[in-house]
Amino acid sequence: MDIRKVVARNLRRARRSVGFSQEVLAERAKVDRSYVSRIETAKVSVGIDTLANLARALGVRPIDLLEEP
């Protein structure tokens, strides 16, 4: 599977499991909300530092956002 789609699905699932909106996640990870949206729709590749910030904001490990289910 395309890694962007894997990250998109995992990020969306993790965000919803903690009850965050895209806006709340973006604020906690210090990124723009539209960027979170573009990641979740697999329109952009996410950098490793941003991936780590998103994971930290969600309380998951970065690898959790990269692994295929």
List the chain domain ranges.
3-58
Is residue 7 within 8 Å of 66, Cβ to Cβ?
A: yes
| Mean of per-residue pLDDT scores for the chain | 97
pLDDT tens per residue, range 14-69? 999 999 999 999 999 999 999 999 999 999 999 999 999 999 999 999 999 999 97
Class of domain 3-58 as given by CATH: mainly alpha
Token pair recorded at residue 44 = 């952009």
Nearest to 41 by CA among 1, 12, 64, 2: 12
In the numeric block, the tokens 């904001």 are attached to: 57
**What is residue 1's predicted lDDT score, i.e. its pLDDT?**
74
Nearest to 58 by CA among 23, 29, 32: 29
